Amino acid sequence: MTIAQRIDDAEFLWQANRRDGAFLAVLVAFAATARRVRPRSIEPSDAKSFKALFREQQLPARLSVRFRGEMVSMDEFFYKWLRCELVHEGGLPIGITFDTEDNGGLVTIRLSDDLPITISSVWYHSLVLAVLSHPANADVFPMQEVRVDEVLRAHEVSGQRLIGKDAAGLKYPGAPWIPPDESGGISLSKEI
């Protein structure tokens, strides 16, 4: 399978309301993109390659969440607790769920023991866009700019926000990016 097929599968699974499978497929496509950017000859570690691309494409490493009693950067959280758990354990760990109705926040932290972290659908869509638009994948996605523009237009129309920079180095007027606040950080939604 190719990176493009993984993205097509992810989108199919997302539309079928199979969120774990959709996240797994997009995380595999993202990891494969990371390998294209940093081949084993440059970076032998899959984890370091994934996390470096995540920091470049999504958010600065300073954004963290508390999970299982420790502060975890978002790149580590997505690699260890989402990608690795889905790949090696076949599902999400207890304490992490997806909120497909949240299309504007990043994570929701619920102050309870059973579901402490809920991942917004914003992350899924932002990872798809990061893979689609990355210059390293220009040969994988024919008419890459057109496809990226279609995705951005669809998100703008639906009001779905996105995280990250414009990975292709292009400017997309009206793109619904989640900007950092005045301190350079990102606001999290919280429930008490």
pLDDT given at position 108: 55
Its domain, for residue 167, covers 3-191
pLDDT over threshold 50, residue 24 = yes
The CA-atom distances, in angstroms, between 4 and each of 9, 12, 84, 167 are 9, 12, 21, 16
State pTM to two decimals.
0.79
Determine the average pLDDT of the residues in 82-97. Answer: 88
Mean local confidence (pLDDT), 152-157: 71
DSSP helix/strand/coil, 108 = strand
Give the per-residue pLDDT at 181. 41
Residues 100-136 pLDDT 10s: 666 555 555 554 444 468 787 888 888 888 898 889 9
Number of domains present in the structure of the chain = 1
- Supply the pLDDT for residue 34: 95
Assign residue 187 a region (left: φ > 0; alpha: ψ between -120 and 50; beta: otherwise).
Answer: beta
Amino acid 27: pLDDT? 95
